[in-house]
Amino acid sequence: MERMPLARHRRGRTKGRVLTAGLGAAALGSAVVIGGTSLIAANATGRPEPTCAPTGCSSSEDRKSKGARESASPKRSAIALPPGVPASAKPTPKPVKAALGPLYVDSEGQAVEWVAANSGDSRVGLIRDRIADQPQARWFAVDNPGDVRGEVRTYAARAASRGRVPVLVAYNMTNRDCGGASAGGADSADGYRTWIGNFASGLGSGTSIVVLEPDALPHLTDCLSADGHQERLDLLGYAAKTIKQQSPKARVYYDVGHSAWLGPSEAASRAKRAGAARYGDGIALNTSNYRTSGAEVAYGKRVLAALGGGQLVVDTSRNGNGPAGDGEWCDPSGRKLGRNPTTATGDAQVAAYLWVKRPGESDGCSGAAGQFIAETAYELSS
């Protein structure tokens, strides 16, 4: 459970994510969070300032306790299905969609800025080639309903003009991160509906990949009342449905954690109750975490079988060496970049390997959550 957008890194010393990824000077008001996350907001100078919000800012301790529970069969929560879906309903298996095109390389972001500003540094070549020049997700984690449409439109249009597929993370759920390091999000259900509606309307008519609300489903029963459970499920269903209505070519993947968090049947149950079988294209795994691709694909296929079909995407940004032996999630040493982002996976059930978390952006231990640390980036790349 080590991811956090908004810096999208882990929360403080908890396993979470901190939103930070991908906020360039021009990305005012946007936060890109993915894997280990921290939120980033732009200051008066136009420079992003990381703040530990979603790590997403999922807490490390939360994730550890969840991993420990995962060995046991997860108990199904008494969570109501979305309106109009009978308890016995079984989704029709989804046909496998055509392969996605090449992914968009964001021209903004902290790694890009660092490379441009440090041409004399001996590490520049490696960091540029291995990180800055690779496709990465952009996180939208600021509760800015008046601005998010334009920010998404600009980003999506830039990708479309290059014939590439952008990856976006929608990260503004109410009671985000259960008040942990990546706390924040919309202040009400109505506020979230407005925000996600504007987010969706900015996507346009092109193909895009949307990772939907990291940790929202894994954290479902951690800090919400029974009414809160249903509200969150309804909001996730509303989000996916709205994105599909506004942008039919968008691919929506519900974040369900990773292989050491929820059991496959529980992950599928929560996703199904949130409308994933009706409105989604599949599931997103390992956001801001370090689990190996093999473990995530095997786990994800079990979730998809229980869900009734669809595809999966895996965050491979920092999983080249797998998780740290001691379970440390906050900027552990010895980690490496995983497989480069690609939609050419060779597996019909795997839509893409993505870098949701932006490599080199801190979880909050090697620097401020979401801050780009050149030495971390270099170690990951070496």
Q: Is 261 annotated as a binding residue?
A: yes
**Cβ pair 92, 78 in contact under 8 A:** no
- Within 8 A by CB and 6+ apart from 379, the residues are 333, 334, 335
Q: Is 289 annotated as a binding residue?
A: yes
Q: For residues 36 and 168, give the distance between their C-alpha atoms in angstroms, rounded to a whole number.
A: 16
Residue 269 burial by Cβ neighbours in a 10 Å radius (0-12, 13-18, 19+): buried
DSSP for residue 366: S
The one catalytic residue in 62, 106, 234, 363 is 363
Q: Is 215 designated active site? A: yes
Cβ atoms within 10 Å, residue 206: 18
Q: Is 363 designated active site? A: yes
Strands of the 167-170 sheet, one edge to the other: 138-140, 167-170, 208-212, 250-255, 282-285, 311-315, 350-354
**β-bridge mates for residue 55, sequence order:** 57
The one catalytic residue in 143, 215, 255, 315 is 215
Q: For residues 243 and 76, give the distance between their C-alpha atoms in angstroms, rounded to a whole number.
A: 28
Q: For residues 269 and 283, give the distance between their C-alpha atoms in angstroms, rounded to a whole number.
A: 12
Q: Is 139 annotated as a binding residue?
A: yes
Q: Is 49 annotated as a binding residue?
A: no
Q: Is 195 annotated as a binding residue?
A: no
**Cβ pair 173, 213 in contact under 8 A:** yes
Q: For residues 3 and 143, give the distance between their C-alpha atoms in angstroms, rounded to a whole number.
A: 20
Q: Is 198 annotated as a binding residue?
A: no
Q: Is 357 annotated as a binding residue?
A: yes
Q: Per the annotation, where are the binding residues? A: 139, 258, 261, 289, 329, 357, 361
- Residues acting as catalytic residues: 215, 363
Task: Could you list the residues known to form a binding site for substrate, using ranges.
Answer: 139, 258, 261, 289, 329, 357, 361
